[in-house]
Amino acid sequence: MNKRVLIIENDQDIRHIVEFILQQQGFETLSIPEPDDLAEIIPFRPDLILLDEFINSKPGHRLCKKIKQLPALAATPVIILSTANDIELIATDCEANDYIGKPFEVEDLVAKVARFFNHQPHTF
């Protein structure tokens, strides 16, 4: 069974690019601009969530905190994607498991995502 990655990114171009890259690496993906309700993503059973920090003027770190409090998703690793200068602090504050700064290199994205499935320790 392929590992499942949920991509929450409001920029359609970035969402499609990330989805394409991960599908080419053999991951099953679901990409959405923003969940109306976290309950709608539970049936996908993601193994990892890529979460944009800026979701239609809402901070992604608030959604990250909600994800970490929801029993069905609490153990799911979250990687924050952002152009913010303080992305490491944001990721730490919301208990994200890692972060990726934008713009990103394809190799870095793939390596960070793959790391969670290879049981390697996080980098920050």
* 123 lies in some domain: no
The domain containing residue 10 runs over which residues?
Answer: 4-115
Q: What's this model's pTM, rounded to 2 decimal places?
A: 0.91
pLDDT at 124: 47
- Domain-located, residue 47: yes
The DSSP code for 2 is -
The CATH number of the domain where 36 resides is what?
3.40.50.2300
Is 121 inside any structural domain? no
Is 42 inside any structural domain?
yes
Domains identified in the chain, total number: 1
Q: Which two tokens stand for residue 93?
A: 């504050």
Q: pLDDT digits over 1-16, tens only?
A: 689 999 999 999 999 9
- Angstrom CA distances, 75 to 15, 55, 70, 81, 94, stand at 23, 22, 9, 19, 14
What confidence tens digit (pLDDT) does each residue in 51-67 have?
999 887 678 889 999 99
Q: Is 120 a domain residue?
A: no
Q: Which two tokens stand for residue 80?
A: 């924050």
Residue 59: per-residue pLDDT: 83
DSSP 8-state assignment for residue 42: G
